[in-house]
Structure 1
């Protein structure tokens, strides 16, 4: 094989979910030469499995105390709203807004707890009570006897957000085949990537590599010989129901636990039906259940909480997905987005947004690290890497489940 050609870029982002795409856009705007590598499709795995809820942390305060997580994300809905209007740090005006709010509701047994909590000062200006006469048609049914609150947050169509973030990066987004690509670490610990392209070897040298591949970060860190940071996974098993019930709904039901008992988001299908995507405690407990057991549990929950909803003739499916996060003491939930230096490679940063809402926060963390390390800004010159194909956009879980 001929001597390797060397390509130099300022920053290489590995992982084309919304976190990686957001970061790559910010890097480009700030003048860094940036390359984004994705081994599957843009938005695959964790991103496309998201329910698209951009929230300000209210659901993390259900335990009765304002946590670091809720403080870190309190301003996120407004930032995303500005981007959707084309006035924020990134222009997402081409993406689709599914709802400009979502709801928090209780069953009759938990109404008192929710009313007491949401009257506290920590939620003022972020939640408003909805009187029965003003409730959406979904909750106008006489069998609903709980309380209803409107959260001033929003719900996004994740595939369209992925497309909007990918559009400005047509030159920078490339598909990487890990069967023909490997890591190399020199004596000083600096990492580079070796590609095999058309029978020739090409070396990618990057001022910084930023790993934003979710669960894939773990494999890359192992390949680099890094002992830290380490990854933890928080698995989910989510139910999906495709139906022709006329009402869309986006919201959380308060239960006895700190996390919502049930989260519902509605997603349109090409045949004018819709899918309800079910998360919350149902999805967390569903990890221990088979597909059949989870579907049965989901049916019981919907019958218990929303007995007036007719889902006869609906189609059901489930999805298992891991949320990847930086390892925490006692497997705790991370409070905010994390961008962390590795113990072996000075030019590798491992990054996890921990939740969709915090993708902008993650970019801020990474940019701060790049500025401290004085990462250079140079023109983008990809050389032979231009021949790599561009990755596509990942299909949604319900498209795969119900359309084969």
Structure 2
């Protein structure tokens, strides 16, 4: 079978891979992308959609000022893309909320102390571009009006991940190919890639933005897959009718840490879904026990005392943060872009909000020697990659009452 010849091949169709492809095409580079499952597949569809500006890092008293400074400008950067003032345009992406809330639960004595100490420090510390700001109680989301002691708003927008992937993919759908990589090798001045269905691609440069899939790509390229680390999560889901489950986007703060991070998405048939992360997701990352659902109930009641869950459903899904490895197995500082072999780049954004920075860094490495677009993909006999399904559409749901502690 005749190989497709392209200057740069991007492997992985999540937010990092798609943004990188768009950046390369905008720079006039002949590029395409191959995804082995569905666009947004394993990692990008699992995120909660918050465009962090560093507030969560500062809240956890993370000493990595470099990471905070790198991410602090991302909310404004994404607003530029949402407004269509920068390419790629995200004008067609859905914004779930223009801001994200920090709240202190009404029933916690520790929250009362934090209202006097921690939050004012974040507001006036000068590190954040979007520090928490007080708002009148009438502006708080309904659940916080009813159940929170204090609430502060940060100008960190929340975007629906499915719509972001769709907005990035739409204009370049002819260059989004589907395929399972079987082998790759360096020959002369190019990479030869073989796929399971017998198709082939020859590319001068390869960029791996495949999340957990980067480990396999590294191995196939004769590189050490231990360059990548995995930090798992067990995310919670709550589903209810729109009238019973109000929209909420924010972090519950107890003890100076984000006990819960909750974001909302409107699902099918008049229902709303909460994605629940934070320390709960980290604590249950390596266990599959049914006790998780009891803990999910307890933590929600602790964060929002008195919230009625009796008519809700609960579910969970495993998530994973694929990142560049470090000796402490902790979150890396900022984006990680590494040229591991001649004209082969492996990249991880660390946070999905930093995908624009990753794409720019990759493009800066690719541009020298790049070929202008001249490959026609419209008539190419190759299956195209479609959208992956979000986790709440694949979850196994149960009555919340079945998890209610005795």
Aligned residues: 388
Find the partner of 1:232 among 229, 232, 235. 229
Cα gap change, 1:276/1:101 in structure 2, threshold over 3 Å: closer, same or farther? Answer: same
Cα gap change, 1:78/1:282 in structure 2, threshold over 3 Å: closer, same or farther? Answer: same
Q: Are residue 135 (structure 1) and residue 131 (structure 2) matched?
A: no
Give 1:397's aligned residue. Answer: 391
Find the partner of 1:105 among 103, 106, 110. 103
Deviates more, 1:108-117 or 1:298-307: 108-117
Give 2:294's aligned residue. Answer: 296
Alignment of 1:139-218 (within 5 A): 139-141=144-146, 143-145=147-149, 147-178=150-181, 181-186=182-187, 191-195=191-195, 203-218=200-215
- Contact 2:29–2:371 (8 Å) recurs in 1: yes
Cα gap change, 1:82/1:304 in structure 2, threshold over 3 Å: closer, same or farther? Answer: same
- Contact 2:8–2:30 (8 Å) recurs in 1: yes
Q: Counterparts of 1:66 and 1:326 in 2: how far apart (Å)? A: 16
Q: Counterparts of 2:127 and 2:377 in 1: how far apart (Å)? A: 50
Q: Counterparts of 1:115 and 1:339 in 2: how far apart (Å)? A: 34
Give the gaps of 5 or more residues in structure 2.
Answer: 399-406
- Contact 1:114–1:254 (8 Å) recurs in 2: no
Give 1:28's aligned residue. Answer: 25
Cα gap change, 1:150/1:383 in structure 2, threshold over 3 Å: closer, same or farther? Answer: closer
- CA RMSD in angstroms comes to 2.3
Cα gap change, 1:242/1:212 in structure 2, threshold over 3 Å: closer, same or farther? Answer: same
Q: Counterparts of 2:267 and 2:354 in 1: how far apart (Å)? A: 27
- Contact 1:190–1:346 (8 Å) recurs in 2: no
Report the Cα offset of residue 190 of structure 1: 5.1
TM-score, normalised to structure 2's length?
A: 0.89
Give 1:221's aligned residue. Answer: 218
Question: Secondary structure at 1:171's aligned position in 2?
Answer: helix
- Contact 1:41–1:394 (8 Å) recurs in 2: yes
Give 1:285's aligned residue. Answer: 283
Give 1:335's aligned residue. Answer: 333
Deviates more, 1:20-29 or 1:58-67: 58-67
Q: Counterparts of 2:92 and 2:378 in 1: how far apart (Å)? A: 31
Alignment of 1:254-273 (within 5 A): 254-256=253-255, 258=257, 260-273=258-271
Q: Deviations over 1:189-214 (max 9, x none)?
A: 953112476xxx65422121000110
Give 1:51's aligned residue. Answer: 48
Q: Are residue 359 (structure 1) and residue 358 (structure 2) matched?
A: no
Give 1:252's aligned residue. Answer: 251
TM-score, normalised to structure 1's length?
A: 0.90
Q: Counterparts of 1:376 and 1:41 in 2: how far apart (Å)? A: 28
- Contact 2:35–2:177 (8 Å) recurs in 1: yes
Q: Deviations over 1:217-267 (max 9, x none)?
A: 001111111137700011000011111324100001123365x21100011
Cα gap change, 1:291/1:88 in structure 2, threshold over 3 Å: closer, same or farther? Answer: farther
Q: Counterparts of 2:271 and 2:195 in 1: how far apart (Å)? A: 44
- Contact 1:229–1:340 (8 Å) recurs in 2: no
Question: Secondary structure at 1:287's aligned position in 2?
Answer: coil
Q: Counterparts of 1:163 and 1:27 in 2: how far apart (Å)? A: 18
